[in-house]
Amino acid sequence: MFFLKVVILCCGNILAADDGFGIHVLDELRKRNLPKNVELIDGGTGGLDILNYIENADKVIIVDAVSSGGEVGTIHRFTRGDLPEPDSVYFSLHDLGLIEAIRAGEATMPASMPDDIIIIGVEVERVEQFNIGLTPEVDKAMPKVVKMVLDEINTLS
């Protein structure tokens, strides 16, 4: 039986308040009994490095902080086909933005880029350095995002 390679890439900086959201989600997912074809990756604040993690995957689910001016705790979901313009929604509040990195991968290594990319982001409030912990609204979104990730995995079964 053929199994798809699924990469769940959680990004963020645990030392920068809400920007650590993706890493908190990663910690929750590590407690789950996930299928063997699912790889959990701490993407940190990687910028273009994320391309190494997602290269040749069949499906990629990226979890990160989002800053678009929306209500704190709002969950955003995008596919590769409906990515917004980089200046309207900012993922990865660090280094090169997530959307820019994906677009760079599409331009430089199109054959290695996964067709199925899902990005799940939560609108954040605080991103100060050396401030550990999530604001209540962002923390409240975590169980919903974990469920969304698990639902995405289950659609492959």
Give the model confidence (pLDDT) of 85-130 as tens digits. Answer: 666 555 654 556 778 888 889 899 999 999 899 999 999 987 766 7
Look at the domain 6-154 and name its fold. Answer: Rossmann fold (3.40.50)
In the prediction, which pLDDT does 146 show?
Answer: 98
The tens digit of pLDDT for each residue in 62-74 reads 999 988 888 999 9
Section 128-155 average pLDDT: 91
Three-class secondary structure of residue 55 per DSSP? coil
Average pLDDT, the chain: 87
| Cα–Cα distances in angstroms (integers) from residue 58 to residues 38, 117, 126, in the given order | 10, 9, 34
Q: Which distant-in-sequence residues (6+ apart) come within 8 Å of 100 by Cβ?
A: 86
6-11 vs 38-44, strand pairing mode: parallel
In the prediction, which pLDDT does 93 show?
Answer: 46
Question: What's the rounded Cα separation, in Å, for the pair 60 and 54?
Answer: 7
Residue 3 near residue 58 (C-beta atoms within 8 A) = no
| Cα–Cα distances in angstroms (integers) from residue 139 to residues 42, 103, 121, 136, in the given order | 18, 30, 13, 5
pTM to 2 decimal places = 0.88
* All structural domains of the chain with their residue ranges: 6-154
Q: Sorting pLDDT into bands at 50, 70 and 90, what band is 1?
A: very low
Lowest mean pLDDT among 19-33, 99-113, 142-156: 99-113
Section 1-25 average pLDDT: 88
Section 25-42 average pLDDT: 96
